[in-house]
Amino acid sequence: MVRNLIMLGMAILVVSLIALIIIGFLSGISNPLPWISMAILAIVILTHNRIVKYRYLEWKESYSVGIESIDNDHKKLIQLINNLQTAIDYKTNNEFEKKTLAEVIDYTKYHFSREEDLMENNGYSDFVAHKAQHEKMIAKVTELVQAYEKDESEGIKAGAIESLLMYLKSWLINHINGTDQEYSEYLISKGVK
């Protein structure tokens, strides 16, 4: 609700600034109003872009585990989490939000089982501990999803989905950059691509 009001306010501000620029230039280029409006508009756009960049995940080469199939899974997870961010930021209905959330969770489970099969089939020594981290994450996500689904009031639901998204983002990036990097050298030495 609060975010929707902020977005509405931003839209009104941008439209008003564009109107001021047009009206200002129609009254002559010596008028300072359109130039000031253009400067404010540029600041608004730059600020908006910074906020968007901060909220969305971006793939970095440093995230690579050196195994193309796993990197592709991680990239896909980042994309699905960003889809969920979009659904939350620009939601028109709860169904789209629920659909994108289900896609993130389903793909996470699929990726975990693929990663676990690779580790187990190649005799990776830390397989059990790594699998335990995956299971702990799924248990926490299940708990957060239950909290999200439990209350139908919009304010509480919005808070619950934000918590869920924050957890997914921080866990995924920390895991890719930490635990997933640990199997990299071993699995590559076993010829995993």
Give the binding site for Fe ion (CB under 5 A). Answer: 115, 180
Identify which of residues 77 and 144 has a Cβ nearer to Fe ion in the complex.
Answer: 77
Q: Distance between CA atoms of 166 and 164, rounded to whole angstroms?
A: 6
Please answer whether residues 87 and 97 qualify as being in contact, where contact means their C-beta atoms are separated by less than 8 angstroms: yes
Nearer to Fe ion, 68 or 162 (CB): 68
Task: Pick between residue 17 and residue 65 the one whose CB is nearest to Fe ion.
Answer: 65
Q: Which residue is nearest to Fe ion (CB)?
A: 180
Cβ of residue 79: shortest distance to Fe ion, in angstroms? 14
Minimum distance from residue 111 beta carbon to Fe ion (Å)? 6
Q: Whose Cβ is closer to Fe ion: residue 97's or residue 115's?
A: 115
Cβ–Cβ < 8 Å for 128, 192: no
**Nearest distance from residue 167's CB to Fe ion, in Å?**
16
Smallest gap from residue 164 Cβ to Fe ion (A): 19
Report whether 183 contacts 66 (CB < 8 A).
no
Cα–Cα distance for residue pair 65/114, rounded to 1 Å? 15
Show Cβ contacts of residue 118 under 8 Å, excluding neighbours closer than 6 positions.
Answer: 70, 124, 187, 192
| Structure tokens that stand for 150 in this block | 């439990």
Please name the amino acid found at residue 112: F
